[in-house]
Structure 1
Amino acid sequence: MNIDKSQVAQRFAKAGQSYAKHAIVQKQICQQLLQLMQHYLPSTSLNRVVEIGCGSGNLSHLLIQNFEIKQLFLNDLYPEVQQHFQHDPKLQWLIGDVEQLDFPQSLDLIASSSALQWVSDIDSIFRKSAAALIENGYLCFSTFGQQNLQEIKALTGQGLNYLTLDEIQNKLLKQGFEILHLSESLETLNFSHPKAVLQHLKATGVTATAVQHRWTKQSLQQFYQDYQQFSRLDQSGQRHYQLSYHPIYCIARSKP
Structure 2
Amino acid sequence: MIVRKEFLKRSFSKASQTYDENASVQSYMGKRLLEKLDFSSFKHVLEIGSGPGNFTEEIINLYSPEKLALNDISEEMLNICRERFSNHMTIISYHPGDIEKLTLKEKYDLIASNACLQWLFDLEGTLKKFIESLKPNGVLAFTSFGNENVKEITALTQNGLKYLSYSELDSVLKTLNVPYSLQEEIVKFHYTDALNMLKTLKKTGVTGFSKTIWTKGMLNRFVKEFESKFSDANGVYLTWHIYYAVVKESK
Matches of residues 63-78 of structure 1 in structure 2 within 5 Å? 63-78=59-74
Matches of residues 74-113 of structure 1 in structure 2 within 5 Å? 74-81=70-77, 82-84=79-81, 85-87=84-86, 88-113=89-114
Quote the Cα distance in structure 2 between the aligned partners of 1:95 and 1:252: 24
Quote the Cα distance in structure 2 between the aligned partners of 1:225 and 1:78: 34
1:115 aligns with 2:116: yes
Residue 230 of structure 2 is matched in structure 1 by: 231
Cα-to-partner distance string for 1:56-87 (whole Å, 9 max, x where unaligned)? 11111111111131211100012112223323
Matches of residues 203-222 of structure 1 in structure 2 within 5 Å? 203-211=203-211, 213-222=212-221
Cα-to-partner distance string for 1:163-208 (whole Å, 9 max, x where unaligned)? 12222222122122211x3211112122232211211111111110
Matches of residues 192-207 of structure 1 in structure 2 within 5 Å? 192-207=192-207
Moved more, 181-190 or 197-206: 181-190
8 Å Cα contact 1:3/1:118 also seen in 2:
no
8 Å Cα contact 2:44/2:65 also seen in 1:
yes
1:47 aligns with 2:43: yes
- CA distance 1:72–1:215, change in 2 (3 Å): same
Which aligned runs of 4 or more in structure 1 are off by greater than 3 angstroms?
A: none
Residue 138 of structure 2 is matched in structure 1 by: 137
Quote the Cα distance in structure 2 between the aligned partners of 1:101 and 1:144: 23
Residue 246 of structure 2 is matched in structure 1 by: 251
Moved more, 118-127 or 160-169: 160-169
Matches of residues 54-65 of structure 1 in structure 2 within 5 Å? 54-65=50-61
Cα-to-partner distance string for 1:118-137 (whole Å, 9 max, x where unaligned)? 11110111110111112221
SS in 2 for 1:215: coil
Amino acid at match of 2:199: Q
8 Å Cα contact 1:188/1:244 also seen in 2:
yes
- CA distance 1:172–1:78, change in 2 (3 Å): same
Residue 20 of structure 2 is matched in structure 1 by: 20
Amino acid at match of 1:130: I
SS in 2 for 1:21: helix
Residues paired across the two proteins, number: 246
**RMSD of equivalent CA atoms:** 1.8
Residue 153 of structure 1 and its aligned partner are, at CA, apart by 1.4
Quote the Cα distance in structure 2 between the aligned partners of 1:250 and 1:136: 16
TM-score by length of 2: 0.92
Equivalent pairs: percent with the same residue?
31
